[in-house]
Structure 1
Amino acid sequence: MFERLFPRRKPDPTPLPQPNAQLALGALLVRVALADQNYQASEVGQIDRILAATFGLKPLEAAKLRATCEALERHAPGTPEFAQILRNEVAYDDRKALADAMWSVALADGTRDAAEELQLLAIETALGLSDDDIAAARDAALRQE
């Protein structure tokens, strides 16, 4: 009887890992895809391809990493904290390449979205990219569209 009135609480879920450069990148890619509140399969696939290519992962490993990054993105710090991890661990030229990768996620669903572009600008700025490099990443992505 008391069990029905006072059900047992579910145990806490497995704690999330501490963000490192790999997880921070994945979480920011997910954050870009979610900016328009429409998480498309094409965006998920693009994130998986980026993670696989960047970190030398097999497709299943990349999908597992993305799933961890999705959970981290929901429960972890904001964009500046993720970007700071990347600024500390990733060279400037590689951060420019990350901007290109993020643009490919934003455009993977075939549409330009103002919310995604604002999120991208915030991330690129937090990554410490120059205005010229931000504009170059946007222009290159839009030419490929």
Structure 2
Amino acid sequence: MFERLFPRRKPDPTPLPQPNAQLALGALLVRVAMADRSYQATEVGQIDRILSATFGLKPLEAAKLRATCEALERHAPGTPEFARILRDEVDYEARKALADAMWSVALADGERDADEEVQLLAIETALGLSDEDIAAARQAALRQE
């Protein structure tokens, strides 16, 4: 009877890890994919492929990393904080490659979405990319569409 009146509180969830470059990239990829409020299997698969290729992970390891990144994206700092981590830990050329990867996630579902493009521009700007490099990444992605 008391259990129904005073149910036990669920234990606190496992604390999220401190973001590093790997987690920041994954969280930003998830953020781009979710910008249109539709998180599709094609986008999830593209994120897993990017994480696997970028960090040399096996498919299951990439999926686990993505799951952590999804939780981090929901509960952690905003785009500028993730971008700062990447600016501090990743050189400019690699950040340009990240922009290409993010575009591939945004277009993985076969649709262009204004919300995803706005999110991408915010991330690319926060990553410190030049206007020319931002435009080049966009053009390259749209040519492949």
The alignment partner of 2:115 has SS state of: helix
TM-score (norm 1): 0.99
Q: Distance in 2 between matches of 1:92 and 1:70?
A: 25
- 1:54-65 matched pairs, under 5 angstroms: 54-65=54-65
Quote how far apart the aligned CAs of 1:4 are.
Answer: 1.2
Aligned-pair identity (%): 90
Q: Distance in 2 between matches of 1:111 and 1:3?
A: 50
Count of paired positions = 145
The alignment partner of 2:39 has SS state of: coil
Aligned twin of 2:115: 115
Q: Distance in 2 between matches of 1:106 and 1:131?
A: 19
Q: Distance in 2 between matches of 1:30 and 1:83?
A: 14
In the alignment, structure 1 segments of 5+ residues that lack a partner are: none
Quote how far apart the aligned CAs of 1:3 are.
Answer: 1.7
Q: State whether structure 2 residue 63 is matched by structure 1 residue 96.
A: no
Quote how far apart the aligned CAs of 1:84 are.
Answer: 0.2
Q: Distance in 2 between matches of 1:50 and 1:124?
A: 17
Q: Distance in 2 between matches of 1:129 and 1:81?
A: 16
Q: Distance in 2 between matches of 1:135 and 1:11?
A: 47
In the alignment, structure 2 segments of 5+ residues that lack a partner are: none
